[in-house]
Amino acid sequence: MSEPIECCLWAPMNDPVYRAYHDTEWGVPEYDSRALWEKLQLDGFQAGLSWRTILYKRDNFREEFEGFNPAAIAQWDQARVDKALQNPGIIRSPSKINALIGNAKAYLAFEERGEDFSDWMWSYVGGNPIQNSWDEFREAPTKSPESEALSKDLKKLGFKFCGPVIVYAFMQAVGMINDHETRCPRHKHVQTMVR
């Protein structure tokens, strides 16, 4: 009988949705601007909650928020916000939904300036993932100088729900920081996933 594969302990083996997220998404470098913006919004909705809660509602979020289309969300009025607040499949927080609308406008301002959101985000790690080497996930920090700098600049541009702890979790998830445990097969695998 073969030995079980030692993966990151934060993703329980008995939760297939969480395991699939760990095994196929978390830590994989993401370079698509809209996808990065979507993940930042989901991490903002996570504030005060567990990622598992958001992960299990992610499809509902995508449906309610028009596929996380910033151009569509930027047009939302109070009536559209009120409609979203009736959806039990999402996190029904007026402050987070209003932040989403403002964040959509802040994202669109990048396009208006002729800037690439992805290039801007990745510049905070020099364009390549930071490769950490933690034996155990609890060794990883909850924020870093990079997440603090990115958070500060996002706020200057009008983004909300993007504190340095939220931004660090975002950076881990989108592969800007490789925080898979060193024993986890994904640690070495995502190291090879660079542009």
> What's the CATH code of the domain at 42?
1.10.340.30
Asked if residue 119 belongs to a domain, the reply is: yes
Asked if residue 73 belongs to a domain, the reply is: yes
Taking residues 15-34, report their average pLDDT: 95
Asked if residue 137 belongs to a domain, the reply is: yes
The Cα 90–Cα 62 span in angstroms is 9
Residues 134-165 have pLDDT tens digits of 999 899 999 999 999 999 999 999 999 999 99
Asked if residue 9 belongs to a domain, the reply is: no
The answer to whether the beta carbons of residues 74 and 105 sit under 8 Å apart is yes
CA dihedral 39, 45, 48, 52 (to 10 degrees): -60
Instruction: Say what the pLDDT of residue 5 is.
Output: 61
Asked if residue 1 belongs to a domain, the reply is: no
Domain carrying residue 28: 16-191
The count of structural domains within the chain is 1
Asked if residue 145 belongs to a domain, the reply is: yes
- Hey, how many other C-beta atoms are within 10 angstroms of the C-beta on 94? 12
Asked if residue 79 belongs to a domain, the reply is: yes
Residues 51-77 have pLDDT tens digits of 999 999 999 999 999 999 999 999 999
